[in-house]
Structure 1
């Protein structure tokens, strides 16, 4: 499975380009990051670290691509969901090719980020970015978080897989607000975010 196949199949199924996700995300990017800063995440160490790294080194957030990554990684926390089952990180020294490897054990649908140091909240680069489905690596070498999300959304549509129940609001935001699919049918929680983004 490769990205070109996913883009082509998604276009066939949905009559739209999956890369519209970038366009939709970019249209809300500034406001979304602003909302993250306004909300208090004292009890969520991952989000606190992400926001602190953003404030401490603005140079890494100069590019739009880095802002996209921050928005997508922070979105689950903002939607009051725990992304630990969706996004996992491991150090490059770990072996991740075996399905039984504890890093991906239990991952039904997710993204694995291979980094030099798992303690770094927002690494400048990744050694590998992979998509996991049912404890198996189905795609690798995706480069970054935004590209992984685009390909993951495409795979979910291609394989007709349901969104993980514990991440339903995060995926609803991506589908309805960023991709514009069924945007008129938001749940109250997502509708509330939509109103904030448009205010």
Structure 2
């Protein structure tokens, strides 16, 4: 498997079969030994491809990762945006700046972006070190990741004039630039409710285990009239 994963054009079907066959062994190692991500990357390099991340998610919770996320998000976007607008009318200025972007270009993709980027703001969580916007052709990667622990780096072209870029070039998942955390990551403390909402409400994974705060938000969304 190691040799196949290192090839420029690996046999994807073979990797699928090998990863499925070694799933129980891999889970035992990761859960039992709590290895560093660098060690897991050396041991299971195929796991870090988009194809295998989706496949591993399906092996664990028997759901399609992207489909579950997009379907769950699209079902809630109208209510989330309506809830944000209601809060913005009560002088929540940080929400207003995001919602104003939709007045310039109200596309489905931008509505999704606004719903997700506004979530930590609505929950009064600090997201500056978890979600960062940067010029994709500007500063070096080391500078852009400076101070990040776990989060998203969203690349766009040119200066950012709005709360979020209307055209995104690429997105990178960042684990602290120097310290690599163990695989059993807990939610980052300063955005734990936003991450919990994504898992428990949008993706509907163990929704009965959500915290009181997220349970309250979910009930508010269900009652909120568009």
- The TM tier, using the shorter chain, reads 0.7 to 0.9
CA offset at residue 93 of structure 1?
Answer: 3.8
1:134 maps to what in 2?
176
- Match of residue 109, structure 1, among 141, 146, 150: 150
CA offset at residue 190 of structure 1?
Answer: 0.6
CA offset at residue 123 of structure 1?
Answer: 2.1
Cα RMSD of the aligned pairs, angstroms, is 2.3
Q: Does 1:90 align with 2:134?
A: yes
Q: Distance in 1 between matches of 2:72 and 2:92?
A: 30
**Gap change, CA 1:126 and 1:62, over 3 Å in 2:** closer
Larger-gyration structure (1/2): 2
TM-score, L = length of structure 1: 0.78
1:122 maps to what in 2?
164
Contact kept? 2:133, 2:164, Cα under 8 Å: no
Q: Provide the aligned length of Structure 1 versus Structure 2.
A: 172
1:26 maps to what in 2?
74
Q: Does 1:160 align with 2:179?
A: no
Contact kept? 2:98, 2:162, Cα under 8 Å: no
Q: Distance in 1 between matches of 2:51 and 2:169?
A: 22
CA offset at residue 198 of structure 1?
Answer: 1.0
CA offset at residue 195 of structure 1?
Answer: 0.6
State the secondary structure of the residue aligned to 1:113: strand
Q: Distance in 2 between matches of 1:67 and 1:129?
A: 17
State the secondary structure of the residue aligned to 2:166: coil
State the secondary structure of the residue aligned to 1:66: helix
Ranges in structure 2 where 5+ consecutive residues have no aligned partner: 1-47
CA offset at residue 164 of structure 1?
Answer: 0.4
TM-score, L = length of structure 2: 0.69
Ranges in structure 1 where 5+ consecutive residues have no aligned partner: 137-155
Deviation per CA, 1:138-164: give whole Å up to 9, x if none.
xxxxxxxxxxxxxxxxxx9x9432110
1:189 maps to what in 2?
213
CA offset at residue 36 of structure 1?
Answer: 0.5
Which is worse superposed, 12-21 or 75-84?
12-21
1:145 maps to what in 2?
none
Q: Compare the two structures and name the one with the higher helix fraction.
A: 2
